Amino acid sequence: MQNERFVGTQRYVATEDLSMAVAAAVTLGRPLLIKGEPGTGKTQLAEEIAGFLGRPLYEWHVKSTTKAQQGLYEYDAVSRLRDSQLGDARVHDIGNYIVKGRLWEAFCSEVQPVLLIDEIDKADIEFPNDLLREIDRMEFYVYETRELVRARHRPIIVITSNNEKELPDAFLRRCFFHYIRFPDEQTMRQIVDVHFPGIKKELLAESLTAFYRIREVPGLKKKPSTSELLDWLKLLLAEDIAPEALRATDGKATIPPLYGALLKNEQDIHLFEQLVFMHRRTTR
Amino acid sequence: MLVRFITQLRDAGIPVSVTEYLALLEALKAGIADHSVDDFYGLARTILVKDERFYDRFDRVFSAHFSGLESLLDMLVGADIPEDWLRKLAELQISPEEKAKIEALGGLEQVMEALKQRLKDQKERHQGGNKWVGTAGRSPFGAYGYNPEGVRIGQESSRQRSAIKVWDRREFRNFDDSLELGTRNLQIALRRLRRFAREGAAEELDLDGTIQATARNAGWLDLKLRPERHNSVKVLLFLDVGGSMDDHVKVTEELFSAARTEFRHLEHYYFHNFIYESLWKDNRRRHQQRIPTQELLRTYGPDYRVIFVGDATMGPYEIIQPGGSVEHWNEESGAVWMGRLMAAFPRFAWLNPQPERYWEQTSSVGIVRKLLEQRMYPLTPAGLERATRVLNAR
């Protein structure tokens, strides 16, 4: 089946190079590894691709305790032991105790699915290595039942990483890679437009200026990202804040209202308040 | 042609393999990048580069490799292109909807004019007067014809930048890990330190594993153990303060205090230029509250890892001569004190915030390196990585 080129959706703005990366990954059937600052829409990308192409989405969220095997299948030995002690007839077929993982489910899909492996860097360092063959050949072997599971359609795999661990080279070789940069003001406008179509021009302009000003404050522990901006705008709209309240009047910097949505820890808030205070003193 | 490009990437230190080269060819064959340089750039980067650290290097190699191609094109095309020829060409590239948009903006002429203006602006902002844009200023054909998207810049979407700009702007410079520590690099460096901290392998009972294994064993108890993850690393940090070092010291302090939870013990002491018989913990009270180095040697055991941070730039006599210190009279030379520290703490490293290539120029750096058995590393994520390897050695 020929896939249309992903160019973003109603709710998601894809830049040119991101769309190119997706096109390459979809056409050549390679997994696409996505990195970027938190809150730039890495996880959402898979949902949007699935929505755009009209494909089912399988999500596999990785935690620090996740093993690669869990994505394939798990042998539930404990219930089998219990059944055997209770004399259940099911116990004779080991297949009853094989629990399918997300990867297996994706392999069974009737149409080409989208598979999201979210935050792969959270898992153990060996995790990606354990998936090499599965990702390469799209097949794996179930030892308990001696069957070979093969993908009916090569899934479109999207993998996200927050860079907490380095991924092994052998794994990277098999992936395509894209780094989602923090959007510039123009793109940000498009993104906001997509999320709040009715937003007033002045409010948008003022809030974006305030937002980028905060991002430029040196020494912030966690810079506010796109998702935080969107939350903040939601609050501003809900509270019906006038755009003037955001403006730095006569050179005096003000603390933007509801800034708690943008700055997420007390050191940052403290630093920011201090800077604003100092700025006020100097301009007075 | 592409083979040379690949080798150049490899020479620049980007790990590109044959697999990726073949994948790129496959992608080109599949027609994903429909013969525009922008697309090719995006595609090549997606396939060949696997880490944003290398984006900057990739941009540089790309620019160097393909700028030759462009000047060739320039030569072929020549300088004088009839104006209407150009317009024809531009019209060919424009779809009906786009035409309507252009009409709304006041016709093609104005758009072209605006575009020319924009390109000119670009040139001025661009350091070194890049030939791509330069050419475009005088002979618009170079820009429009070669890169049809150029026309679209003039309309509205500034996202649609000319690709040349993208790779010549070098926006990913900050991600290169051979750079000094910046805020983003700091995070990566932290992860290195964290890994350094997660050492030690006592065993603890793996309850889930035991239940699983026991069930598989049809009820026979099968105990499973796993290595316990705990932070057993103890660190002594010696920081050079005063003068040129202050900025770097701040970064380093931040780095280590952020990683503080990962270490079982982390103590820091300050010194000026070099280590002598006393150090201090509080910069404001450095003259009142001095701690004898001898006391440190007694207090901390050999399981502490010692990290010095300093630029090691000073007069050689400050290291090797008794009484060489710039601040006070020292009975014994700095080298003697350093030797004592090294003997007491066999696992040590020196982090130098100065770029490695300048080290040769300062003789005191050479002396310190020799004294420290060459265990001096630049204060970059890559340097930290090397340092942690040494510090972890048994």
Chain A residue whose CA is closest to B192? A165
What mean pLDDT comes out for the span B3-24? 86
CB contact under 8 A, A177 and B49: yes
Q: Three-class SS string for A205-222? A: HHHHHHHHHHHHCCCCCC
Chain B residue whose CA is closest to A37? B184
Contacts of residue B388 in chain A, CB cutoff 8 Å?
none
- Domains of chain A by residue range: 16-180, 185-283
Whether the per-residue pLDDT at B389 is higher than 60: the answer is yes
Whether the per-residue pLDDT at B369 is higher than 70: the answer is yes
CB contact under 8 A, A177 and B50: yes
Quickly state the pLDDT bin for A118 (edges 50, 70, 90): very high
CB contact under 8 A, B32 and A176: no
Q: Give residue A212's pLDDT.
A: 84
CB contact under 8 A, B50 and A25: no
**Cα–Cα distances in angstroms (integers) from residue A239 to residues A92, A97, A227, A256, B45, in the given order:** 63, 53, 18, 13, 44
CATH code of domain B183-202+229-392: 3.40.50
User: Which residues are CB-contacts of B14 (< 8 A; sequence separation ≥ 6)?
Assistant: B48, B49, B54, B57, B58, B61
Q: Nearest CA to CA, how far is B233 from chain A (Å)?
A: 20
In this complex, is the C-beta atom of A163 within 8 Å of any C-beta atom belonging to chain B?
yes
Q: Give residue A100's pLDDT.
A: 92
What mean pLDDT comes out for the span B213-238? 77
Contacts of residue B159 in chain A, CB cutoff 8 Å?
15-16, 186-187, 190
> Which tens digit of pLDDT belongs to each residue from A196-238?
887 777 788 888 888 888 887 766 777 888 888 888 888 888 8
Quickly state the pLDDT bin for A158 (edges 50, 70, 90): very high
Q: Nearest CA to CA, how far is A252 from chain B (Å)?
A: 28
Closest Cβ opposite residue B42 in set A21, A85, A190: A21
Closest Cβ opposite residue B46 in set A169, A177, A187: A177
In this complex, is the C-beta atom of A81 within 8 Å of any C-beta atom belonging to chain B?
yes
> Which tens digit of pLDDT belongs to each residue from A78-104?
888 888 888 888 888 888 889 999 999
Quickly state the pLDDT bin for B326 (edges 50, 70, 90): confident
Interface test with chain B among A16, A86, A220, by most B beta carbons within 10 Å: A16
The three-point CA angle B32-B33-B35 to 5° equals 135
Count of A-B CB contacts under 8 Å: 82
Hey, which residues 165-204 in chain A have their CB within 8 Å of chain B? 165, 169, 172-179, 181, 184, 186-187, 190
Is residue A257 within 8 A of residue A246, CB to CB? The reply is yes
Closest Cβ opposite residue A24 in set B19, B27, B52: B27
Q: Give residue A106's pLDDT.
A: 92
Rounded to 10 degrees, the C-alpha dihedral A29/A35/A39/A42 comes to 0
Q: Give residue B115's pLDDT.
A: 53
- Smallest CA-to-CA distance from A67 within A114, A115, A129, A113 is with A129
Residue B385: HSE in the Cβ half-sphere, 13 Å Cα cutoff: 9
Interface test with chain A among B19, B36, B41, B46, by most A beta carbons within 10 Å: B46
Quickly state the pLDDT bin for A117 (edges 50, 70, 90): very high
Contacts of residue A27 in chain B, CB cutoff 8 Å?
27, 30, 32
Q: Give residue A270's pLDDT.
A: 77
For B221, the token pair is 């108890």
Lowest mean pLDDT among A273-277, B369-373, B385-389: A273-277
Is residue B39 within 8 A of residue A20, CB to CB? The reply is yes
What percentage of chain A carries pLDDT values higher than 90?
18
In this complex, is the C-beta atom of A132 within 8 Å of any C-beta atom belonging to chain B?
no
Contacts of residue B215 in chain A, CB cutoff 8 Å?
77-78, 80-81
Measured between alpha carbons, how far is A124 from B160 in angstroms, rounded to an integer? 39
Contacts of residue A175 in chain B, CB cutoff 8 Å?
50
Whether the per-residue pLDDT at A142 is higher than 80: the answer is yes
B326 Cα distance to chain centroid:
35
What mean pLDDT comes out for the span B20-39? 81
Regarding the domain delimited by A16-180, which CATH topology (the fold level of the hierarchy) does it fall under?
Rossmann fold (3.40.50)
Q: Nearest CA to CA, how far is B357 from chain A (Å)?
A: 27
Whether the per-residue pLDDT at A121 is higher than 50: the answer is yes
Whether the per-residue pLDDT at A187 is higher than 50: the answer is yes
Q: Nearest CA to CA, how far is B202 from chain A (Å)?
A: 18
Q: What is the CA radius of gyration of chain A?
A: 24
Return the higher-pLDDT residue of A110 and A271: A110
Contacts of residue A78 in chain B, CB cutoff 8 Å?
211-212, 215
Interface test with chain A among B50, B58, B149, B198, by most A beta carbons within 10 Å: B50
Q: Give residue B131's pLDDT.
A: 37
Residue with tokens 């340092």: B387
Q: Give residue A104's pLDDT.
A: 92
Measured between alpha carbons, how far is A46 from A29 in angstroms, rounded to an integer? 15
Whether the per-residue pLDDT at A119 is higher than 50: the answer is yes
Quickly state the pLDDT bin for A155 (edges 50, 70, 90): very high
Lowest mean pLDDT among B24-28, B57-61, B161-165, B262-266: B161-165
Return the higher-pLDDT residue of B106 and A233: A233
Mean pLDDT (chain B, rounded): 70
Contacts of residue A85 in chain B, CB cutoff 8 Å?
219
- Smallest CA-to-CA distance from A78 within B226, B206, B223, B217 is with B217
Whether the per-residue pLDDT at A267 is higher than 70: the answer is yes
If you average pLDDT over each of A199-203, B161-165, B188-192, which comes out highest?
Answer: A199-203
Closest Cβ opposite residue B52 in set A17, A35, A84: A35
What percentage of chain B carries pLDDT values higher than 90?
0
Assembly ipTM: 0.77
Q: Give residue B202's pLDDT.
A: 53
Quickly state the pLDDT bin for B69 (edges 50, 70, 90): low
Whether the per-residue pLDDT at B248 is higher than 80: the answer is no
Residue with tokens 């502490």: B304
Chain B residue whose CA is closest to A17? B42
Measured between alpha carbons, how far is A251 from A244 in angstroms, rounded to an integer? 14
Whether the per-residue pLDDT at B123 is higher than 50: the answer is no
Measured between alpha carbons, how far is A159 from A45 in angstroms, rounded to an integer? 10
Hey, which residues 217-256 in chain A have their CB within 8 Å of chain B? 219-220
Closest Cβ opposite residue A16 in set B15, B23, B42: B42
CB contact under 8 A, A173 and B49: no
CB contact under 8 A, B42 and A169: no
Q: Give residue B78's pLDDT.
A: 40
Chain A residue whose CA is closest to B14? A169
Lowest mean pLDDT among A54-68, A148-162, B172-186, B191-205: B172-186
Hey, which residues 28-47 in chain A have their CB within 8 Å of chain B? 28, 30, 33, 35
If you average pLDDT over each of A66-70, A203-207, A277-281, B75-79, which comes out highest?
Answer: A66-70
Quickly state the pLDDT bin for A107 (edges 50, 70, 90): very high
> Which tens digit of pLDDT belongs to each residue from A35-61?
888 888 888 899 999 999 999 999 999
Interface test with chain B among A80, A98, A171, A173, by most B beta carbons within 10 Å: A173
Quickly state the pLDDT bin for A241 (edges 50, 70, 90): confident
Chain B residue whose CA is closest to A168? B50
Measured between alpha carbons, how far is B373 from B367 in angstroms, rounded to an integer? 10
Q: Give residue B95's pLDDT.
A: 56
Whether the per-residue pLDDT at B146 is higher than 60: the answer is no
- Domains of chain B by residue range: 2-175, 183-202+229-392
